[in-house]
Structure 1
């Protein structure tokens, strides 16, 4: 008998908590708790600002040799197609950076791109691609001394035969 009473009490408690949960979820958030937004927060979603962000991101990777090499190595497009994507946007960056009205509307997206590229590179990605390992023989691999000895013998053999 006590088990049925416990079940009834437990069911009542669960029902009460679910009603309170729905009530709290539907409660309005007071204006004091609303997130603050700058007057230009909606301006950052315009097409001009999106274009500026894209040019800044691609140019940051294109103009930094470390990021560029990582992108070209990781891209599945191939070296020439991936290089073309980066090289098309780079000349546009300086004009966008010097446009005062655009920077007032969108903010300094070139600095945002630089900071974001550094953070992403540290995390192991570049332009959304996971950085692939460089191909080749590792320095501590067994094949390295064999290749070095073979090169030495070929060069010495050529030098001695002269």
Structure 2
């Protein structure tokens, strides 16, 4: 009787090891196929990436009379700007409000003198920061991340 019990236990152990080996082989094959096909890597990397939508909206050229202060001499500023945003839907919002944005830019620029237009702090034009803050205040949200000056001339 004990001999039969021993054979039954050995038979169960044998089947258990066969099942464990088969499961290990199947898992190994699936993992190997997934990583060598590249699809698993693509899926994992796409999950890790957060899609950033960047938009740059160019504005038409501005020609502004600068504040002459006490001087009789009239100074002009010709400037071209592009607005940069990394928010979704920013392009549509900026384009829809281009008239308000242009008005805001003109309001800021006409108060500048020839020297204050080019005033820098830590190698950055203060004008860019001032324009960004004024445009975001006009739109009642922080949509503009940066302003690129693509052309600037004073006379």
Q: Report the TM-score range of the alignment, normalised by the length of the smaller protein.
A: under 0.3
By percentage of residues, which structure has more helix?
1
By percentage of residues, which structure has more strand?
2
Structure with larger Rg? 2
* TM-score, structure 1 normalization: 0.24
* TM-score, structure 2 normalization: 0.25
